[in-house]
Structures are given as structure tokens and as C-alpha cells.
């Protein structure tokens, strides 16, 4: 199997506890899903390496809006499952459908900074041909629209989910 990059994957969530006694796990998702990802192959981050696992699709189910119960193949007991608690689960980006019907969420959930000033968190990406926008939610729960222009991007820190921009003066204030 060829190596896959984190840039091709989405961090679906974190295993928070075992479920029952046959090796099932409860996953707290990072986003509300419209449907269970249409894939049998998931990746678990183990010692900084994305390890592929097949999942028993027949046993995968929702447990609330932001939780999934799933069973990794070859994990057949609570004792084996407990080793996965606290680990993150990743899935290919194109296998996810969010509740808003969008697939493109590479920057979803990233904290956005203008220089070193935190201006909000990416809530959505609005695809306008030739002029995509990111929708931010500020700490004051105010919606801010920012053009996603390569000229504004200083750095994208995927590990810490931070986007550093250098925005034209007054652009953030336009949203007031």
C-alpha cells in the first residue's frame, strides 16, 4: 500500500472509550456528519504513523450527532480496544459528507490569525468560482468573511490547525 499523507486525510475524531465488550469503540467526531463515511479503510495515528485499519461497516453506527460506534478488524475484546482510547481516527477527505453537504473542509476548524492576532475559527468554505471565501466565527460569535487568496496566506500549520494570514488593513472590520 502506498503511503498516504495527512493532507489527504481528515481527522474524523478521537476514541473516547470502549463500547461493550467485543472490541467496539466510541469515537467523538470533530464535526457533525450527514452520513457514515463510505469506506472500510480508516487510519489510526499510532506513534506518529498513520496505520490503516479495516472497519466492520455492519457494526458502524451513529450514537448521537457527533459520536460513532465502530469496530476495527482484529480488535476483538475490550482489553484490545482500550489500547485505542485517546487515539485519533482519520479518513480520506473525499469519503466525508458534512451536515452542510460540503466535502471541502481542509481548513475546517483551523484557528485564523492576522499576523499574531487571533481573528476566529474557520466554520465553512464558500466556493465562489475564482473567489473562495472562508467563514470565520470570532470569539465574540460574530461571522467574518475573508477571501481565501493565496497572496494573504503566510503559513498553514496543519499540525496545530492554524492559518496565518497577512490581511489588507480594514478587511476584518468590513464585516462589522
Mean pLDDT, the chain, integer: 83
Residue 99 has pLDDT above 50, yes or no: no
Q: What is the pTM of this model?
A: 0.57
Question: What does the pLDDT look like over 5-18, one tens digit per residue?
Answer: 665 777 888 999 99
Mean pLDDT, residues 17-38: 87
- Please give the CATH topology (third level) of the domain spanning 111-175: SH3 type barrels. (2.30.30)
**Quick one: fold of 6-95?**
Elongation Factor Tu (Ef-tu); domain 3 (2.40.30)
Question: Looking at the DSSP assignment, which residues form a beta bridge with residue 55?
Answer: 72
List the domain boundaries for the chain: 6-95, 111-175
Of residues 156 and 115, the one with the higher pLDDT is 115
Torsion sign across C-alpha atoms 85, 91, 95, 96: positive
Q: Residue with C-alpha cell 496566506?
A: 153
Residue 102: its pLDDT value, please?
46
Instruction: Give me the percent of the chain exceeding a pLDDT of 70.
Output: 87
Percent of the chain scoring above 90 in pLDDT: 30
Contact 18, 72 (CB under 8 A): no
What residues pair up with 155 in beta bridges, in sequence order? Answer: 164
Amino acid at each position: 500500500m502506498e503511503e498516504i499523507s495527512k493532507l489527504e486525510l481528515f481527522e474524523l475524531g478521537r476514541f473516547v472509550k470502549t463500547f461493550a465488550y467485543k472490541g467496539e469503540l466510541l469515537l467523538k467526531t470533530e464535526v457533525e456528519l450527514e452520513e457514515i463515511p463510505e469506506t472500510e479503510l480508516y487510519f489510526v495515528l499510532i506513534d506518529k504513523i498513520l496505520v490503516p485499519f479495516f472497519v466492520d461497516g455492519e457494526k458502524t453506527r451513529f450514537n448521537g450527532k457527533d459520536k460513532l460506534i465502530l469496530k476495527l478488524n482484529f480488535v476483538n475484546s475490550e482489553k484490545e480496544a482500550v489500547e485505542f482510547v485517546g487515539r485519533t481516527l482519520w479518513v480520506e477527505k473525499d469519503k466525508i459528507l458534512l451536515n452542510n453537504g460540503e466535502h471541502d473542509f481542509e481548513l475546517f476548524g483551523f484557528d485564523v490569525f492576522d499576523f499574531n492576532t487571533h481573528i476566529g475559527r474557520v466554520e465553512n468554505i464558500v466556493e465562489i468560482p475564482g473567489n473562495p471565501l472562508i467563514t470565520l466565527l470570532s470569539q465574540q460569535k460574530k461571522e467574518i468573511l475573508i477571501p481565501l487568496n493565496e497572496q494573504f496566506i503566510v503559513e498553514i500549520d496543519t499540525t496545530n490547525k492554524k492559518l496565518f494570514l497577512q490581511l489588507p488593513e480594514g478587511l476584518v472590520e468590513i464585516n462589522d
